[in-house]
Chain A
Amino acid sequence: NAGVTQTPKFQVLKTGQSMTLQCAQDMNHNSMYWYRQDPGMGLRLIYYSASEGTTDKGEVPNGYNVSRLNKREFSLRLESAAPSQTSVYFCASSVKGSLKNTEAFFGQGTRLTVV
Chain B
Amino acid sequence: AQKITQTQPGMFVQEKEAVTLDCTYDTSDPSYGLFWYKQPSSGEMIFLIYQGSYDQQNATEGRYSLNFQKARKSANLVISASQLGDSAMYFCAMREGGTGRRALTFGSGTRLQVQP
Instruction: Using CB atoms and an 8 Å cutoff, list the residues of chain A in contact with chain B.
Output: 31, 33, 35, 40-45, 48, 50, 58, 88, 90, 92, 94-106, 108-109
> Given A33, A35, A58, A99, which contacts B98 in the complex, CB threshold below 8 Å?
A99
Known: A31-B101, A33-B103, A48-B103. A99 touches B43 (CB 8 A): no
Nearest 10 A/B pairs, CB to CB: A99-B33, A106-B45, A102-B100, A42-B106, A43-B106, A42-B108, A48-B103, A103-B47, A50-B101, A96-B100
- SS class, residues of chain B in contact with chain A: loop
The total number of A-B Cβ pairs within 8 Å is 71
> In which size bucket is the chain B interface?
20 to 34
Task: Please tell me if B25 contacts chain A, counting CB pairs below 8 Å.
Answer: no
Contact of B52 with A45 in the complex, beta carbons under 8 Å = no
